[in-house]
Structure 1
Amino acid sequence: MFGIGGGELVFIMFIVLMLFGSDKVPEMARTMGKAMAQLKNATNDIKSEIQKGVEVNGLDAKSLSNLTGDINSQINKVKEDLMGDTVAQVNKATSNLLGDSVDQANKVKEDIEDITGPVKRQR
């Protein structure tokens, strides 16, 4: 139940009892029970209205599942295409950047060796 264990539930009930007192807790529980019942009834009403709308439009569960399956397959295909293109572009950009960086590093290394070369020989 919402990832709450028995000990945690007892602790919560203890805190509620301490905050509101023993005379308010049953009243609060009744109010919450009524609210949950109203929420359940509203959910059932919405489900029945959706079902009626589906029946009026001539759709059934099988055609809806086929339609959603087709839509999901198209979405997955587009994702794969986009990801493939993106990965290829990232790899190309990475290799270009690394190649340029290595070239620049080698050039700087040669420049430093040219500058420090005569200094090392003078020792």
Structure 2
Amino acid sequence: MIHHVLFISTPELFLVGLVVLLVFGSDKLPEIARGLGKAIKTVRNATDDIKHEITKTATDDFSSKEVEHFKKQIEEVKDKIEETGSIKRKL
């Protein structure tokens, strides 16, 4: 899964693993993997906390009436932009 995120193909992933194994040796590899796992977990937890805070703040700050009002304004602006797009094509 991580190789899809980093746009690394499977052979490249194996090559990186081989280089890491050669550089650090097999005795340090579990320690490095454990450290990477902890770092990834910490980043995920921090990301989840940030998402939770943003969601909580957004729901606390805006009522549904305000959200509907903003959505209506956005739709009006989108309609105006689409109208100008057809005028531009005609010119």
Q: Normalization by structure 2: what TM-score? A: 0.66
Greater RCO between the two (CA within 8 Å, min separation 6)?
A: 2
Match of 2:71 among 66, 72, 95: 66
C-alpha displacement of 1:66: 2.2
Change (3 A) 1:52 1:18: same
C-alpha displacement of 1:58: 2.3
Cα distance in 1 for residues equivalent to 2:39 and 2:12: 23
Change (3 A) 1:34 1:68: farther
**Overall identity of the aligned pairs, in %:** 36
Cα distance in 1 for residues equivalent to 2:8 and 2:63: 40
Structure 1: gaps spanning 5 or more residues: 85-123
Structure 2: gaps spanning 5 or more residues: none
RMSD in angstroms over aligned alpha carbons? 3.0
* Partner secondary structure for residue 40 of structure 1: helix
1:14 and 2:29 aligned: no
Q: Which residue of 2 aligns with 1:52?
A: 56
> Highest Rg: 1 or 2?
1
Match of 1:29 among 22, 33, 48: 33
The alignment covers a number of residue pairs equal to 78
Runs of 4+ in 1 over 2 A off after TM superposition: 63-70
* 1:36-47 equivalences in 2 (<5 Å): 36-47=40-51
